[in-house]
Amino acid sequence: MCERDMFDGAEGARRDWRGAALTRRDMARLGAVAGAGLLAAGGAAPVLAQGAMQEELVTFDAPGGRMDGLFIHPRTGKYPGVVLWPDIAGLRDAKFMMARELAREGYAVLVANPYYRSVEGQQFDDFDAWREGGGFDRVRPWMAQNTPANIVETMGAVVAWMDRQASVDTARGIGMQGYCMTGSWAIRAAAALPDRVKAAASFHGGGLVGEAADAPVNLLASVATDARVLIAIARDDDAQAPGDKDALRAAAEAAGRQVEIEVYRGNHGWTVPDSPAYDVDEADRAFARLLALYEAAL
């Protein structure tokens, strides 16, 4: 899971800022950096038209502060809403790129600030900046604000905001996807808001299994019966805790819920373009499973 030394000595993937034209595969091929800092604190809040897509920097009231993030959606029509929760390095270009790729498939996607209770906007240019700039120590107090109870409160406010957006089709369910520390958040959202959250995806998520009643493994019975869950596990995380996948499978079977659980060949962070563990082929495979999840559930 997101340990301090997990990425020490690794050479991070680099990226270019090309808006909607740049894909995850482009990032892996180019190996270049241009730090756009779109969500740097104090910046303007433009609406960016990119062909058929629209991007908006948004802020709205949420428990404990003002939620901020980037909202990306097709310029016309209504689409299922999806909330993308970034990993430990927070809001940054790599996550916006991932959201654009999903939005182009026909979704209204909010990339939400997981640290909004503590800080506003983009705090790190990329994952390398997190690694090299004392990122773990910086985010530790921000992470402490994200208790299970606070996460559930936040989810309620985020879903309510999504449902007020003209581009979101409220007749269809909402999807939640999280990475690293926020992988568990997606499951918590589906359990807390079963009437609205119909799909949850956890990619190399930490803290999924535990004895507490509110551990995600123990929340699967609270997920809607018509919802679907995707739990994509990194191979190095599985090597550290090989029993977690079995506990999750047993809980899903006992709850009678539709849960896809798989250990991927990539290491922790393999789905994220600026992660040193990024694996483009396994990331493509995970993205295909995400699209299948949303097609079936939303």
Name residue 159's amino acid. Answer: V
At 228, list the tokens: 């679907």
pLDDT band at 87 (very low <50, low <70, confident <90, very high): confident
User: What count of other Cβ atoms lies within 10 Å of the Cβ of residue 85?
Assistant: 29
Share of the chain above pLDDT 90, in %: 69
- Beta strands at 65-74 and 47-50: parallel, antiparallel or unpaired: unpaired
At 57-86, the pLDDT tens digits run: 999 999 999 999 999 999 999 999 999 999
Residue with the bigger pLDDT between 37 and 230: it is 230
What single string gives the DSSP state of each residue in 101-151? HHHTTT-EEEEE-TTTTT--SB--SSHHHHHHTTHHHHHHHHHHT--HHHH
At 112, list the tokens: 């939400």
Angle at 63 between CA 199 and CA 298, to 5 degrees: 15
At 136-160, the pLDDT tens digits run: 677 788 778 899 999 999 999 999 9
What single string gives the DSSP state of each residue in 137-203? HHHHHHHHT--HHHHHHHHHHHHHHHHT-TTB-TTSPEEEEEEGGGHHHHHHHHHH-TTTEEEEEEE
Cα–Cα distance measured from residue 227 to residue 166, given in angstroms and rounded to the nearest whole number? 24
pLDDT band at 51 (very low <50, low <70, confident <90, very high): low
At 166-191, the pLDDT tens digits run: 999 999 999 999 999 999 999 999 99
The packing angle between helices 148-163 and 183-192, to 10°, is 70
Contacts 24+ apart (CB under 8 A), 238-246: 238/263, 240/1, 241/209, 243/209, 244/208, 244/209
Share of the chain above pLDDT 70, in %: 79
pTM here?
A: 0.85
Residues 49-64, mean pLDDT to the nearest whole number: 88
Structural domains in the chain plus CATH codes: 19-297 (3.40.50.1820)
Res 39 pLDDT > 60: no
Angle at 111 between CA 134 and CA 222, to 5 degrees: 100
